Amino acid sequence: MVSVLLLVGILAAVFVGFNVGGSTTGPAFGPAVGADAISKTGAAALMTLFFFVGAWTIGRNVVETLGGDLVTDATVFTPEASIGVLFFIGLGLLVGNLFGVPASTSMTAVGSIAGLALAGDALAWSVMGEIATWWIVSPFIGFWMSLIIGRYFYARLNRMVAMERSEGPLVELDRSGAVPKPVPNGSTSRRELLGVITVVAIGCLMAFSSGTSNIANAIAPLVGSDQLEMNPAILIGGAAVGIGTFTIARRTLETMGNDLTELPLTAAIVVATVSATLVIFLSAIGIPASFVVIATMCIIGLGWGRATRPVTVPEAVRGEEEPPVSVDALAEDEPGEELPPIGEEDPEHVPSAADLFDPATTARVVLMQNLVPLISTIGAYLAFRFVPIFGL
């Protein structure tokens, strides 16, 4: 009986890992694939490798938090409850992907386990408080760091990154020696090669950071209930992520790659580096981090920093060659009269970048990102409290 439950538990963990692999490869390697730096298969292979390395080295800290420290009494992780928790994590992922609402898997996982612990009266409030505090503080750290970069260093970074792709493959294999070695294609400039290496390296960093924080979401309930040892669990979780990267990630890479090309490469690099570094730091101290929220706050910080830099009016207004005519002036014209072409902008309505990131907008977006984790917390609590099949 227990072995059947274990099998179902592993299947649920594999399902979560599979989805993590599918949804993380896009943000991590979208820019690299979009810039034709690597193939989709290459992206999948690097994603799998670096996810595993991150999970094996730092990720186990988070597994210990989620599968142990967060509950005062590990017996709440009955085999049935572990499957239930994984079910809620998987459901959260599915809903998020289905409706295009990005939701942090880690927040969903913490929420589901907290729901279970609450129902079993075994929630370690001090640990929960510590996690929640970091969830509030870390996005602000990301916001502030990106803001500083956006305001003072972005222009310089942008010049460094400026990457123009030449025709033809990036590298050729030099087969003249005993061992074929890759050499830069004749049309590949040094600077271009450096740019390509940068986007691929940042993809690897993101994959690594995802491994450190996301492995726990797939395996923590099974490790917490002592159904699996840590190391075999990490191997299984890593393999499941690998399956996801080589299958469904191909599609997310296509859409993400296209979405991300709208974003200047330098901006994508800044956001990825700052948020991945923060996530790795949090994982190292055993805190499950919410990549989605951190990355969003980095984006807003970067945009804000950029928006607050001095902008001259001619820079902001297009069509300055035409005399700007205010809409009020038009009112004095007789109806039906042939109107002169007006400047595209009413001077009183010069678009300001601050409008892009006003507090109300920001609050709404971050609130929506917390919707899925919140629903799974409540759902998990209600299910574990009132449905008597989990052996609590």
Partner 1 sequence: MIERVLVPIDGSEMADKALEYALEVYGDAEITVLFVAGEPSPMMWKALSVAMDEGIGEAAQDHAEEIFKDAREMAAEYDVEIDTAVEMGSPAKQIVEHAEDFDAVVIGSHGGDLQSRLFVGNVAERVFKRSPVPVTVVR
Binding site for partner 1 (CB under 8 A): 99-102, 154, 259-260, 262-264, 266-267, 271, 292, 295-296, 299-300, 302-303, 306-307, 311, 315-318, 327-328, 330-331, 335-336, 339, 342, 344-346, 349-353, 355-358, 360-362, 364-365, 368-369, 371
**DSSP annotation string for 179-239:** S-EEEE-TT--HHHHHHHHHHHHHHHHHHHHHHHHHHHHHHHHHHHTTSS-HHHHHHHHHH
Interstrand relation of 181-184 and 171-174 (parallel, antiparallel or unpaired): antiparallel
- Give the separation between CA 371 and CA 365, rounded to whole angstroms: 10
**Closest distance of CB 75 from partner 1, Å:** 39
Nearest to partner 1 of 248, 292 (CB atom): 292
CB atoms within 10 A of CB 215: 30
Nearer to partner 1, 228 or 295 (CB): 295
We find the least distance from the C-beta atom of residue 305 to partner 1, in angstroms, to be 9
Give the shortest CB-153-to-partner 1 separation in angstroms: 13
- Report in angstroms how near the CB of residue 49 gets to partner 1 at its nearest: 26
Query: Given the complex with partner 1, which of 70 and 297 has the nearer CB atom?
Result: 297
Task: Evaluate the CA torsion angle 130, 277, 218, 85 in order and state its sign.
Answer: positive
Residue 374 backbone zone (phi > 0: left; psi -120 to 50: alpha; other: beta): alpha
Nearer to partner 1, 207 or 299 (CB): 299
Residue 184: strand pairing partners:
171
CB contact at 8 A, 265 and 194: no
Q: Which residues of 364-378 are buried (b: 16+ CB within 10 A; e: fewer)?
A: ebeeebbebbebbbe
Q: CB of 287: closest distance to partner 1 in angstroms?
A: 21
What is the Cβ-side half-sphere exposure of residue 340, based on CA atoms within 13 angstroms? 13
Q: Closest CB to partner 1 among 26 and 90?
A: 26
Least distance (Å) from partner 1 to the CB of residue 123? 29
Pair 123, 117: CB distance under 8 Å: yes
Closest CB 241 distance from partner 1, rounded Å: 21
Closer residue to partner 1, CB minimum distance, 6 or 353: 353
Q: How far is the CB of 308 from partner 1 (least distance, A)?
A: 10
16 vs 302, beta carbon nearer partner 1 = 302
Q: At what angle do helices 105-119 and 2-34 cross, to 10 degrees?
A: 160
Residue 239 or residue 342: which is nearer to partner 1 going by CB? 342
Token look-up 């129902």 returns: 119
